[in-house]
Chains A and B, each alone.
Chain A
Amino acid sequence: MTDERMFDHRPDPELGAALRAALEPPKDDQARFVARVMARYDAALERAAVPTWEVLASWSRRGITAAAAAAVLAGLLLGRALQSPAAPETIDAAMAPASGPGLAALVTAADPPDASVVFTSLVEPQ
């Protein structure tokens, strides 16, 4: 090959054919390769679609969990509010001795109360 030929603007058919043969994958392999690329195409499409639903589903799951937790908390607070006695309406009512042996014994006894009486008056519900 002369330098002119090597600088030729046209492809060299002889060299081209030899190189093509050297680089050519097996002919029966072409369909397998195309199928492989198309399988990746399908998988990519699937991946592109699935996350949307997964994200929505995860949001939904989180929303349901949060709503359930909020409902339980609200129920607990409501239950406690209903169970606790109403606040006394006046100062006198608040200072009046409540019924019950513990506190009555404390305020009417002539002798100093013993510790069990004081303790009972503290823990006894009013």
Chain B
Amino acid sequence: MGSGDEASLVAQTLAGDRTAFGHLVERYAGQARRVAHAVLGDADEADDAAQDGFLSALVKLAQYDARRPFGPWLMRIVANAATDRRRRRHVRRAEPLDPALVGGGPRPDTEAVRSELGERLRAALAELPERRRTAVVLFDVEGYSHAEIAGILGIPEGTVRSEVFHGRRSLRALLADWKGA
């Protein structure tokens, strides 16, 4: 989907076209849920935050500059929604990384084992500072540029590079350990 197409969908949504908004949600649902999951570390809460993000974006849609890509604009809103939700947490906190999960394990040759790798990665992500893990996910999973991530997170581009570097270092160590086991 090109940016022109997205601009058209945005314009149609602003005109009250429900289907156009539905197309935008379908296109960005996966990305929004993953980014929110990276911020919150909890799939259910991530869905709530992603939903908040979409509805918040709908409210702010008139402010969107159609000359710019829609994805980074939306992801900024979703990331903010997830961060707000995380701040509102009073009781629930990210559980500390289980040391037993960081060690080696069987090769990822079954679904169960791959699921275990996913669990370890999620636990490792939870150990990273929020901004760092969000930057890594936006860069390596969602394919946004450093400049776009800087816009999404509201930080300098150099800081994004540093965050991605440090985040990758931690996660790559886990992945290498897993592969070497």
The chain A residues found within 8 Å of chain B, CB to CB, are 1, 3, 6-7, 9, 11-12, 14-16, 18-25, 30, 33-34, 36-38, 40-42, 44
Contact = CB atoms under 8 A, between A and B. Distances in A.
Contact of B50 (A9, A15, A20, A33): A33
Contacts of A33: 29, 33, 47, 50-51
Interface of B: 18, 21-22, 25-26, 29-30, 33-34, 37-38, 43, 46-47, 50-51, 54-55, 58, 114, 117-119, 121-122, 125, 136-137, 139-141, 143, 145-146, 161, 164-165, 168-169, 171-172, 175-176
Nearest to B174: A18
Contacts of B122: 22-23
Nearest to A3: B165
Contact of B168 (A15, A34, A36): A15
30 contacts: A1-B176, A6-B165, A9-B145, A11-B139, A11-B141, A12-B168, A14-B175, A15-B175, A16-B141, A16-B143, A19-B125, A19-B137, A19-B141, A19-B171, A21-B118, A22-B117, A22-B118, A23-B37, A23-B137, A23-B141, A25-B33, A25-B34, A25-B43, A25-B46, A33-B47, A33-B51, A34-B22, A34-B26, A38-B22, A42-B18
A24 B30 contact: yes
Contacts of B175: 14-15, 18
User: Chain B interface mostly helix, strand, loop or mixed?
Assistant: helix
Contacts, number: 102
Nearest to A44: B55
Contacts of B55: 37, 40-41, 44
B29 to A, nearest CB: 6
Most chain B beta-carbon contacts within 10 A, residue among A7, A18, A21: A18
Most chain B beta-carbon contacts within 10 A, residue among A14, A16, A20, A22: A22
B25 A19 contact: no
Contacts of B121: 18-19, 22
Contacts of B33: 23, 25, 33
Contacts of B143: 11, 16
A1 B22 contact: no
Contacts of B37: 23, 25
Given A18-B117, A25-B30, A34-B22, A7 B51 contact: no
B140 A16 contact: yes
A19 B138 CA distance: 11
